[in-house]
Amino acid sequence: MLTSTSSQLKCTSLPPSCYLPRHHRSMATVVPPVTQSSTARKGPTAMVFMNMGGPQTVNEVGPFLSRLFADADLIPLGRLQNYLGPLISRRRTPKIQNQYAAIGGGSPIRKWSEYQSAEMCKILDERCPESAPHKPYVAFRYADPLTEEMYQQLLDDGFGKQGRAVAFTQYPQYSCSTTGSSLNELWKWRIRLEGKEPENGGVRWSVIDRWPVHPGLIEAFAQNIEAQLATYPSEVRKDVVLLFSAHSLPMSVVNRGDTYPAEVAATVHAVMTRLNFSNPYRLCWQSQVGPSAWLGAQTSDTVMAYVRKGHTDLVLIPIAFTSDHIETLFELDQEVIHEAKQEGGTGVKRAESLNGSPTFIGALADVAERHLRSGEVCSRQMGIRCQGCKSERCLEQKRFFMNTERSVEEVIR
């Protein structure tokens, strides 16, 4: 059972209409549009899920890869980014199209993101009526719905007149390459669509920029691990090796001071603490691209090394992903596990992704509720830049989000 205190964190300031008898409230005849409401002090509230995204069809793979390799925050290629990015994406497109075809023709990440955000908003409407209604939006960095599409929809829905919006990263562990890139994109489109000083005040943004050790997140991971461990015979269960797998980063990003490796490790340690360190475990890294150095050890190499050493019972845990996509459904399921079985690793399995887990959706609601109640614009960690960061765009983005309503702290150069 979830042990967080989310049930104790109810929003208590109810609007007057909530005290009316149910039969009286049901007689209302006017349904207001999604604009600032006179019946709620702070609502409505846009809850914007930010993530990488994925192509929904094989034909969308090319544009998806083109945007991905053009993003210097994710894949830094230096001065040749504009040349190498399109070249690499064109060469990789046929191979990646085959991979998406192998998992059913497209990524399920949009389906899960829309489901998770909608279910979370239902919970928030009950817990926090003063900021209701909570309206779900999805903003993907490299696939539809893109950030600019989401932002335009926000404006069409009336949030440009000082409406409140929360940018909620679906990367629990912060990285400049993921959450940072999404926030850079969000800031860019804010300037383009609203200007530096919007006439009507603009969208009032706050940010949930990381949540690597939230109790509900840890519980959701632990439950899925326990469910997979239960499939092994009792006499070998305690010896099954748990391999936590996260998306890797270029070492150039790691050496710049990115907090992602430490935050992923914090998630792993919290999960193992919840499991009472019941099994041996390791953290490894997947999805490296290109010849440059990336954070290791690689997941595929780790699995094969353990299988060849006689550890044939392994559980892979996608610890930095909040739903299934190509990295879980193809890379882990159809490449890593398939190759391991060919080498005799008949006990290599994967824990389910979080997807529609009620525990996970409850965790999302708890993270969002705490943020809405706190009045914070973002975490204190977001105010300090990586030691080696020289990006002026990163500096300006942080300044914007930290000073949207209240200055938490001056951005440290």
Catalytic residue numbers read 366
Distances (CA, A) of 82 to 66, 288, 290, 409: 10, 20, 16, 35
- Please say whether the beta carbons of 316 and 245 come within 8 A: yes
Q: Which two tokens stand for residue 272?
A: 């193992």
In 3D space, the residue among 31, 35, 32, 33 whose CA is nearest the CA of residue 158 turns out to be 35
Residue 361: in which H helix or E strand, if any? helix 358-374
What's the distance, CA 276 to chain centroid? 26
Q: C-alpha distances in angstroms, 136 versus 64, 142, 217, 272, 387?
A: 23, 19, 20, 32, 35
* Nearest in space to 66 (alpha carbons), one of 111, 96, 100, 22: 96
Angle formed by the axes of helices 179-194 and 392-402, nearest 10°? 70
Cβ contact 148:189 at 8 Å = yes
What count of other Cβ atoms lies within 10 Å of the Cβ of residue 273? 12
d(CA 197, CA 28): 38
Range 148-152 contact pairs with CB under 8 angstroms and sequence separation of 24 or more: 148/189, 148/192, 148/193, 150/48, 151/186, 151/189, 151/190, 151/193, 152/193
Kindly give the residue spans of alpha helices, DSSP state H, lying in 230-259.
234-237, 251-254
DSSP-assigned letters across all residues of 76-140: --GGGHHHHHHHHHHHHHHHHHHHHHHTTSS-SHHHHHHHHHHHHHHHHHHH-GGGPPEEEEEEE
Nearest to residue 126, comparing CAs of 324, 337, 291, 362? Answer: 362
The answer to whether the CB of 371 falls within 8 A of the CB of 355 is no
